[in-house]
Structure 1
Amino acid sequence: MEYDVQSIPVNQSNHAAQLTQLLQAEFSLQRHGGKAAFPLYFDAAQNTNDASVSQRATSAAIASDNNDAVLLATQLWLEQDPKAAQAYPVRLQALLVDEQTKIAQELLTQCKKEGIALDFLPDFVDQNIRNNRIMGQLQTLLASKDLKDDVFVQTAKIHLDFAEGQYTSILQRIENILVQSSDKEAEALIVIKAFSLQQVGQNTLAQQTLEAGEQKYPNSQRIFANLLDIMIENQQSDAAIEKFHSAQLPLYLRQQIGLSIGQRLLQQGSTKQTIKFMSTLPRQGGLGYQINFVLANALHDNGQLDSALNTLSNVYGGLSWNASELVVKWLYNAKQPERINSIILQRTTNDNEPGHVIGVVDLHLQKQRKDLAYELLNQSLAALSDTDAIRYRRAIMHDQDGNGQAAISDLKILVEQHPNDASYLNALGYTIMVRTPDNMKEAIKLIEKAYALDPKDPAIIDSLGWAHYLQGDVAQANQLLSEAWSLMKDAEIGAHYGEVLWVMEDTDGAYDVWQRALEINDQLPTLRQTLQRYAPEMLTEAKDKQ
C-alpha cells in the first residue's frame, strides 16, 4: 500500500514546523485514531530522522491494524536505529503476516549481528500458537543453519514442538537447553518438561521434575500450579489441597489456582472433596461466578439438587446463560420441569437479560412442553420491563400455531412502541398478508414502509416480493425474490422464490432453489406446504435420504 507522506508539507529546516507536525500527529492519534495519525508520524519520522518518532509511527500503524503501515514504520525505525530491540518482534510479526518468510529470516540474522538477543522468540511462538500460517513459517525460520546454535532459537523450537505435541522429541533435547537457559526461560521449560513426561506416561518423574523446579524457583506460580495439578492426578489430592492452603497467595491467584484444583477434582469424580474444597474459596473478585459454577456442578453430581440450584442462583456474568441452561437440564432430568419458569424469571430479573427467557422457551419446545413455553412468555411479559424480544418471540409462536390474530396483536403493540423499526413493521405486514389476506392494503403499506427504512434487508425484500406475487405481478415478484435469495439463502425465501419460478415455467430453476431450501430447513411449514402443492416427490426424496 502506498502512503502519500507528502500530503502535509514540512519545512525540514524549521524545528518549530517539525514540532507542530508532531503535535498534529499526536492530536490526530487521540481524536481520530491510528489510521489518521500514521501518515503524519511517518512523514515526521522521515524528516526528523528520529528513531523515537519512528517508534511512535509504528505504534500508530499497529493501532490502525494496517500491516503494510507496520512494515513501513519498522523498516524506517531499524534504518535509523538498528539496535532498537523492540522493533524486531514487531517487524517479525508483520513480515510473517505478509508471508515474507525469507525477509523474516534475514531480520533475525540482522538482529544477532547487532548483538541483540533473540529472547523474544519463545514468547513470540506462544503468542501465535493458534495461527497456523505463522506457525508453519516459524518452523522454517527456526530451522535456519545461521540460527541453530542460538539458545533462544532452541528454546523457541521446544515451545513450537510442545504446541504440536512432539513430547518425545522435547524430552530428548530439553536437558541441554535447560542448562543454558535464563531463569525466565527455565521456569517455562521445567513445566514443558513435566507435561511432556506426563504425556508419555511418566507421571512420577513429571512430579519430581516440578518439585525440583519449585525448590529452585520457590516463587514460581506457574510451577506451583502445575505441581498441584499433577499431585491430584497422581492420587495425592489431600496433600495438594494442604499445600495450596499453606501457600501465601494473593486473592486472584487463590481463586485461579483453586478453581483449577476444583475442576480437576470434579473430573476425577471426587464430588464430596470438590464440595468441601470449593466451599473454602473466596467468592469476592473476578472468579466468584466460576467458583460457584463448579461448586454447583459438584453438588448436583453428589445428589444435592436444591443446594446446586441455590448455588447457581449466584452465577451470572459470562456464565449466566450456562447456569440457566443447567437449571433447565437438571430439572427436566429430575422430572420437575414445572419449577423451571419461576427460577428463570428470577434470574432474568436479576441479570436484566431477556435472552434467558427466549433461550429457555426454545428448550421447553425441544422437550415438547409448549404449555411451559407459553407460561414463561406470559409471566415474563407481566413481570419485566424490557419485553420487546419476548413479545416478538410470543408472536412467532402464535403464528406458528396458526393463531394469526394473537400474533398480529403482539406485533401491533411492538409497532406502536417502535413505529420506525423496519423488522417489526415487516413482521406485522407479512403476518397480516398471509393470515388475514382481506387486509392486503394495510399489509402492503406496512411492508413498503419497512422497505423504505431498510431496502437491503432480505427478509423485507422477500415480503415485498411475495406481496407482488399475491397481487399477480409475477415479473416484479421474480426480481425482488431473486434479490432476496441472492442476499440470504433462507428456506422461506426459497419456498417463495421457487414458487414464482415454477409459475414462470422455469421448473429446473424452481427445483434447484427448493432443493437448496430443503438442505437449509426441511421442516419449515411454508416450504413443505409449497412442495406439497407443486413437487410432492421432493418431500418423498428428502424423507428417503434421512
Structure 2
Amino acid sequence: MPMRPLRLRVLAAAVAAQTVLWGGSAGAQPAAAASPPRPTESPAPPVLNSALDAPLFYQLLVAEFELRAGGAGTAYELLLDAARKTRDERLFQRATDIALQARAGEQALAAAQAWRIAAPASLDALRYLAQIHVGLNRPADALDPLRTLIERTPAAERAAAISLLPRYFARASDLPKVIAVIDQVLQPYTKEEATRVAALVALARMRLHNREADQALALAREAQRTDPGAEGPALVAIELLGSQPQADQLLATYFQAKPRSHALRLGYVRELVNQQRYPAAIAQLEQALALEPALATGWLSLGALRLELKEPAAAEAALRRYVELGAQAPASDDPALTVTPEGQTQAYLMLAQAAESQGRMQQAEQWLLRIDDPAAALSVQSRRASLLAKQGRLDEGIALIRRLPDEPPDAARAKLLAEAHLLRDQRQWSRAYDVLGQAAARFPEDVDLLYEQAMMAEKTDRIDRMEQLLRRIIEIQPDHYHAYNALGYTLADRNLRLDEARQLIEKALSLAPDEPFIVDSLGWVKYRLGRRDEALAHLQRAYQARPDTEIAAHLGEVLWVMGQRDEARRVWREGQERDASNEVLRETLRRFKVDL
C-alpha cells in the first residue's frame, strides 16, 4: 500500500492527539464556526476550552509518532509528562496502557500512582492500581486501592462493582494470596443487605478460579439463602455441575423462585448436555417449554436430544413445533424465541433423519428438499445417500457424496469421512476401513480420522491394528480420552489384559470425569474382573446418566448373573424399545437365551 504524503500523516496524528485529549471526533467544528441557535433550537452546550497549547500539542504529536515507530518508552515518558502538566485522566490512562502493552510493569505502576495523586477521586485510577499490583505479584499492595475503590463507588453501583472483581483477578499467578486480599475487602459487604449476595458470589467465583469447588458451593448456597431468586448463585452452580452433584439442588431452588428464567435454564441445559446427562436436560427443556411454548431454541434442542436417544417420533414432534414457530412467530429481540435460517436447516436435517429411522423415506426426502443452504450441501447429500443405501442403492449414495466439490480445502476430508460413515452405517466395515485409510494417508496427523479407522479395524477383528492406531492417537494427543477408553473397553470385552484395560479406562475417566460411556466401560471391566457389586454400581450410574441401548445390554447382563432377572428384563426391554437392531443387545439376549 503506498504511503500517504507526510502532510496527511502529520494531520492524522494531530487529529489523533486532539482526540486523546478532548475525547472529540475528527469531524467536530471549532466553536467559532458554529451557527447561532435559531429560536426553536435548544441552546448550544457550553464550550469547554482545551488545555492544549502549541508546545503540548507538539509533545503529544511526537509521542504518537514515537509509539508508531516502536519507541514505546519515549512515548510513555512524553505522555506521562503531559498528563502531569494537564492532570488529564485520559493521558494518565494512555501512558499506563502503553506501559502495560510493553509489559513494563514498574512503569505502569508509576503512571497509575501519579494518576491517583493527580485525581484522588478517580475510580479508574484505583482499579488500574489494584490490577497492576496483582499483576506484579504484590497482592497485599492491592488491598488499599481495592478497599478504597469499593468504598468510593456510589451505593447504587456498588454491587455491580463487586461482581466485576473476579473478572479482574482470574489470571493472577498467586490466587490464594489474591483471595485473601479480596476476602478482607469484601467481608464488610457480606453483612450489608444491598451487597451481601454480590459479595458472596464474588468470593465464590474466586474459589472457582482456584478450583476450590466445595468452598465455592458453600458460598453460593449462603448467597442463595439471602435471595433465592438471585441469578449469581445459580450461575456459579452451573459451573460447579461437573464436580459438585449438589449444585443441581441449588439450581432447583432458583427455578422454584424464578421458573420463567429461560435464558439461565437453557444455560443449565447446555451444561447438562456437555456432561451427557440427556434425561436431565430433557426434563429441564420440558419444564421450560411448558412455561414458555414459544421458546424456539428449546424445541430445537429437545428434538436433537430425542433423536440422540433414538426416540424419533418424539424428536419429530419437537422439531415440527420449531418449524411451525418459524412460520407463525413474529420477530423477537430474544434469540431464544427466534427461529433462524441456520436453525431451520438443522431442523430439516434432523426431521429427515427421524423420518428415515421410521422407514418413511419419501417424507425424509421432502424435508431435505426444503433446505436451501449451500453450506449444508454435504449434510444434505449424506442424508440422501443414506436414504438410497437403505433402498439397496449404496453405490448410488456413494456417488452422490463423491460428486460434491473438493473445495474449500477441508471439503475433501469431510467427503471421505461422510463416505466412511455411510459405509459404516451399512455394516460395510472393510470398505469403510479402506476409505478411512485413504483419508488418513492424506491427513496423517488427523486424530479424528485415525480414531474412526481404529473403530473399523476393531469391527473387522484387526485388533493389533486397532491398538496401533489408538496408541498413535495417544502419542499425538495425550489427552484423547476416547482413545484410552476404546482400547481399554476392547481389551475388556475380549477378556484380554484386564488389569491393563482397567488402567486405560481409569485414565480416560480421569480426563473426562462422569462421561457415561467411560463409566460403562469401567463397569464392564469390573464385571470381567469378577467384581460384580462394583460393576453394578458403575453401570447403574452410567445408565441413569445416559440410557443407551449398549449400556442397557451391559447393565442387564450384570443384573441377570446377580439373580435380579426381572430388573434385567426391564432394562433390556427399555434398550430394545430404543434400538432393537443394536448388535450388542441382540448378542447378549442370544447368549442368555432370553426372549423379551
Shorter-chain TM-score bucket reads 0.5 to 0.7
CA drift of 1:107 comes to 1.5
Secondary structure (helix, strand or coil) at the match of 2:293 reads: coil
Partner of 2:320: 415
1:476-507 Cα deviation digits (max 9, x unpaired): 4234323568586389624346679x999899
Secondary structure (helix, strand or coil) at the match of 1:454 reads: coil
Q: Provide TM-score, normalisation by structure 2.
A: 0.49
Partner of 1:103: 4
1:77-98 Cα deviation digits (max 9, x unpaired): xxxxxxxxxxxxxxxxxxxxxx
Partner of 2:125: 223
2:87 & 2:264 partners in 1: Cα distance?
A: 50
1:416 & 1:111 partners in 2: Cα distance?
A: 56
Q: Which amino acid aligns with 2:17?
A: D
Where do 5+ consecutive residues of structure 1 fail to align?
1-98, 128-148
Kindly report which structure 2 residues correspond to 1:134-533, keeping only aligned pairs within 5 A, or say none: 150-156=58-64, 183=88, 186-188=91-93, 191=96, 199-201=104-106, 206=109, 210-218=112-120, 220-227=122-129, 233=138, 235-236=140-141, 239-240=144-145, 243-244=148-149, 247=152, 267=175, 268-270=178-180, 271-276=182-187, 279=190, 293-297=201-205, 300-301=215-216, 303-309=218-224, 326-330=236-240, 332-336=242-246, 339=249, 342-343=252-253, 349-352=260-263, 355-365=266-276, 372-373=280-281, 375-376=283-284, 380=288, 385-386=293-294, 389-390=297-298, 393=301, 396-397=304-305, 399-401=307-309, 404=310, 406-415=311-320, 418=323, 423-433=346-356, 435-436=357-358, 439=359, 442-454=360-372, 456=374, 457=376, 458-474=378-394, 476-482=396-402, 486=406, 489=414, 493-496=418-421, 511-513=437-439, 519=446, 521=448, 528=455, 532=459
2:400 & 2:224 partners in 1: Cα distance?
A: 51
Q: Which amino acid aligns with 2:353?
A: Y
1:215 & 1:362 partners in 2: Cα distance?
A: 52
CA drift of 1:363 comes to 3.6
1:194-233 Cα deviation digits (max 9, x unpaired): 8699945589xx46x6454444445655434434556785
2:125 & 2:15 partners in 1: Cα distance?
A: 25
Secondary structure (helix, strand or coil) at the match of 1:463 reads: helix
Q: Which amino acid aligns with 1:275?
A: L
Q: Which has the higher contact order (CA 8 A, sep 6+)?
A: 2
1:159 & 1:348 partners in 2: Cα distance?
A: 54
CA drift of 1:463 comes to 0.8
CA drift of 1:359 comes to 0.6
Q: Which amino acid aligns with 1:477?
A: G
Q: Which amino acid aligns with 1:350?
A: S
2:185 & 2:90 partners in 1: Cα distance?
A: 34
Report if the CA contact (8 A) 1:408-1:431 is conserved: yes
Q: Which amino acid aligns with 1:418?
A: V
CA drift of 1:327 comes to 0.9
1:118 & 1:348 partners in 2: Cα distance?
A: 51
1:304-339 Cα deviation digits (max 9, x unpaired): 3411455796665xxx8xx75631443553452552
1:296 & 1:153 partners in 2: Cα distance?
A: 47
Would the alpha carbon gap of residues 188 and 444 (structure 1) be closer, same or farther in structure 2, given more than 3 Å must change?
same
Q: Which amino acid aligns with 1:333?
A: S
2:166 & 2:348 partners in 1: Cα distance?
A: 51
2:68 & 2:228 partners in 1: Cα distance?
A: 43
Secondary structure (helix, strand or coil) at the match of 2:17 reads: coil
1:314 & 1:541 partners in 2: Cα distance?
A: 54
1:355 & 1:185 partners in 2: Cα distance?
A: 41
Would the alpha carbon gap of residues 220 and 373 (structure 1) be closer, same or farther in structure 2, given more than 3 Å must change?
closer
Would the alpha carbon gap of residues 464 and 195 (structure 1) be closer, same or farther in structure 2, given more than 3 Å must change?
closer
Q: Which amino acid aligns with 1:473?
A: R
Would the alpha carbon gap of residues 154 and 229 (structure 1) be closer, same or farther in structure 2, given more than 3 Å must change?
same
Report if the CA contact (8 A) 1:357-1:377 is conserved: no
Secondary structure (helix, strand or coil) at the match of 2:140 reads: coil
Q: Which amino acid aligns with 1:304?
A: L
1:428-465 Cα deviation digits (max 9, x unpaired): 432443x45xx3xx223322332244364332221112
Partner of 2:547: none
1:526 & 1:430 partners in 2: Cα distance?
A: 24
Percent identity over paired residues: 8
1:121 & 1:105 partners in 2: Cα distance?
A: 20
Would the alpha carbon gap of residues 122 and 416 (structure 1) be closer, same or farther in structure 2, given more than 3 Å must change?
closer
Would the alpha carbon gap of residues 327 and 153 (structure 1) be closer, same or farther in structure 2, given more than 3 Å must change?
same
Where do 5+ consecutive residues of structure 2 fail to align?
26-56, 208-214, 328-343, 475-596
Report if the CA contact (8 A) 1:429-1:446 is conserved: yes
1:48-72 Cα deviation digits (max 9, x unpaired): xxxxxxxxxxxxxxxxxxxxxxxxx
Partner of 2:536: none
1:238-282 Cα deviation digits (max 9, x unpaired): 643564466475955x56765566766885012532433555899
Q: Which amino acid aligns with 2:316?
A: L
1:497 & 1:120 partners in 2: Cα distance?
A: 64
Report if the CA contact (8 A) 2:131-2:169 is conserved: no
Would the alpha carbon gap of residues 155 and 350 (structure 1) be closer, same or farther in structure 2, given more than 3 Å must change?
same
Q: Tell me how many residue pairs correspond in the alignment.
A: 394
Kindly report which structure 2 residues correspond to 1:78-93, keeping only aligned pairs within 5 A, or say none: none
Partner of 1:4: none
Would the alpha carbon gap of residues 263 and 476 (structure 1) be closer, same or farther in structure 2, given more than 3 Å must change?
closer
